[in-house]
Structure 1
Amino acid sequence: MWWLPPAAALLRRSLAATARLSAPGYLMLVKQPTARTNSPMTVRCLQQCGSHNTDDDRVSQAFKRCCSTIASSGASEASPSAAYVKNLCRSGNLVDAVRVLRQLHDEQIHVGLHTFNMLLQHTAEANSFALFAKVFRYLLLSKLPPDSTSYMNVAKAVQKLDDCELILKFVRELLEITHQRDPTVMNRIIFATAQYGHIDKSLVIFEELKKYQTSLDVVTFNTVLDMLGKAGRVDQMLREVKLMEELGHFPDIVTYNTLINCLRRLGRLDLCKRFAGEMLERGITPDLRTYTALIDSFGRSGHITDALEMFQKMKKSHQPSVYVYRALISNLKKAGQFELAQKLTEDMNSSASELIGPEDFKPKNKGRRFRKKG
């Protein structure tokens, strides 16, 4: 009797099941969006008809090729299955690809993150959110940590949804899986969706998380505050700061830097001073970003004395940066204090080799940055 490796035996069962799903007995029906829903998302449903004919030749040939791959390349158990899923994606047979993924999950055969990301990309591009949601759930259940590509695909899929109920259903399903984990998954979904330009959809997710207080942390609020501040929604940002403390999540250095930087850009010096004072009262030491934002804010608003006082405080605990020198010198010139500006310029040039440069301000978490595609 011909003996098959475990991976080949499992793959034969997977391919047989896939062949039955690909047979004429299963038809893909596409429901076009109506004027009432006005949604670009195509809703796909699978209906079973009477016939159960199978394409034995196709399955047999696919199986032989995969077995040949196992024998000739010594590939790991997951490789042939991943290759087959890839081929199904390339052929546009996403329903079968997701069903194979489910069977592999049920059999506890693991595929790599690349395979999940490939399926997420294809289902998102095909506007099949139901399939997309299944793939992302299987990814979370696999215990593989999603990467920036995974979350970018979530943002791409969510942006095509006009129905908030579908978004909320998706969030609730994810919370069922992640309720005993930290809120990283939901935090990154909020971040990615906002980075993709869909702030309101990020806020829909955030509002749902408020119902499950264990699914929130300081990072969640910091992400939302930054998003609201960049959008100029000051009042809403301040409400969330208040709620943050009411729920027992106290601001950290990132919170205050986010608030002060956003308010500085919006010209709200009064609020910058308020949060800087609150920060010091709570024993949180300002860092270089905090000082830079405050000095620039004071200088731009004509409060040169406050800016210089803050600059002297900064020098006691931090090496000044090129940014803060240039900002302060520029603001002094605008205020007509050319002699003092010249003195600071000489001070900057004499200590140029010791100053903090642009590379020290680069974000450390590069994986969390997404490009918004037009």
Structure 2
Amino acid sequence: MLFASRSFRQTLLCSKAVPELSTPGNSASILLFQNPISLKPSRRNCNAAPLNEEEKIILNEIFAAIATENASKSASEICTAYIDKLCRSGNLSATARFIKSLHDENIFISSNAYDVLLAAASEKNDIGLISEVFIDAIGSPESLSATSYLHIAKAFAKTNDCTQLFRFIKDVVELTLPSSKFLNRIIFFFGEYRQIDQALLISDQIKSLKCNIQINLCIISY
């Protein structure tokens, strides 16, 4: 169980990662989740890089804003501004690390912020970052959008290295077993992106892992 050592924690749902994705009323929204999704421990999370000084300062500002009812800036505004800054600077690895640090503190950003980061990673064809961000996003109480899954399919469509795809699927299986929700969505959107062969490879990979997961191949668009 992720966060098994923690009691009830306040969970922040950040607003959008870039201004053009924002909507009125989102910037100060704070939601509470008592039961985050159950996940098996991630090898990636265990090896996360330590925070730098700037990230520590930002996290402290977020915690202070959560604890202060009438703070000059909401925790969501602080979080969103920093993620936006990192994305615009092109420092995607730092953005992913910061999101993971928030996740470790039971603070979850919105699916739109994941969309922004996955889009940028896909454009750079950074399969490692795509995998890392998706694995982290699995634990979010807010479901990823169709756009995020299409960014993943787009990134893997640019490579012929099946090893990276198999490693990604193995990580997802280990984290989400016995649920098939994420895997079926991955297969579906690979099909939507016309990556039929890769969608079938994913199905074969899941079967080879001998895990009791129901995969629906009828969702693939031929």
| TM-score (norm: length of structure 1) | 0.40
Deviations 1:100-127 (A, max 9, x none): 1111111112211111111111111111
For 1:178 and 1:172, locate their aligned partners in 2 and report how far apart those are by CA, in whole Å: 10
Is 1:72 aligned to 2:68, yes or no?
A: no
1:215 aligned counterpart, secondary structure: coil
- State the identity as a percent: 30
Aligned-pair distance for 1:163?
0.2
Q: CA deviation at 1:79?
A: 3.5
CA contact (8 A) 1:209 1:216 kept: no
Q: Match for residue 179 of structure 1?
A: 177
2:125 alignment partner, SS class:
coil
Aligned counterpart, 1:126: 124
> For residues 104 and 217 of structure 2, what CA distance do their matches in structure 1 show?
36
C-alpha distance in structure 2 between counterparts of 1:160 and 1:188, whole Å:
20
Q: Cα RMSD (Å) of the superposition? A: 2.6
Asked if the contact 2:108/2:141 (under 8 Å) is kept, the reply is no
Structure 2 unmatched ranges of 5 or more: 1-9, 11-48, 66-70
What SS does structure 2 have at the residue aligned with 1:200?
A: helix
Match of 1:94 among 92, 100, 105: 92
Aligned amino acid, residue 221 of structure 1: L
Separation in 2, partners of 1:139, 1:167: 18
SS in 2 for 1:72: coil
What letter corresponds to residue 222 of structure 1 in structure 2?
Answer: C
Question: Which residue, 191, 196, 200 being the options, matches 1:199?
Answer: 196
Q: Contact (CA 8 Å) 2:118, 2:148: kept in 1 or not?
A: yes
Q: Matched residue pairs, number?
A: 162
Alignment check: 8 A CA contact 1:104 1:110 kept: yes
Which of structures 1 and 2 has the bigger CA Rg? 1
Q: Determine helix, strand or coil for the equivalent of 2:138.
A: helix
Give the Cα separation in 1 of the matches to 2:76 and 2:134: 18
Q: In 2, distance between residues paired with 1:117 and 1:155?
A: 13
Gaps of 5+ in 1: 1-6, 8-47, 49-53, 231-374
1:202: how far off? 0.9
Aligned 8 A contact 2:108 2:140 in 1? yes
Tell me which amino acid in the other structure corresponds to 2:90: G
Bigger proportion of residues as helix: 1
CA distance in 1 between partners of 2:101 and 2:119 (Å): 20
Q: Hey, what does 2:109 align to over in structure 1? A: 111
State the one-letter code of the partner of 1:197.
R
For residue 163 of structure 2, the aligned residue among 144, 156, 165 is: 165
Counterpart for residue 324 of structure 1 = none
Contact 2:111–2:142 at 8 Å: present in 1 too?
Answer: yes
Q: CA deviation at 1:149?
A: 1.3
1:176 and 1:82, CA in 2 relative to 1: closer, same or farther beyond 3 A?
A: farther
Contact 2:178 2:213 in 1 (8 A): no
Deviation at 1:143, TM superposition (A): 3.6
Equivalent residue number for residue 315 of structure 1:
none
| SS of 2:203 mapped into structure 1 | helix
Do the aligned partners of 1:159 and 1:198 also contact (CA within 8 Å) in 2?
yes
TM-score, normalisation: structure 2: 0.65
Letter in 2 for 1:72: S
Match of 1:136 among 134, 137, 158: 134
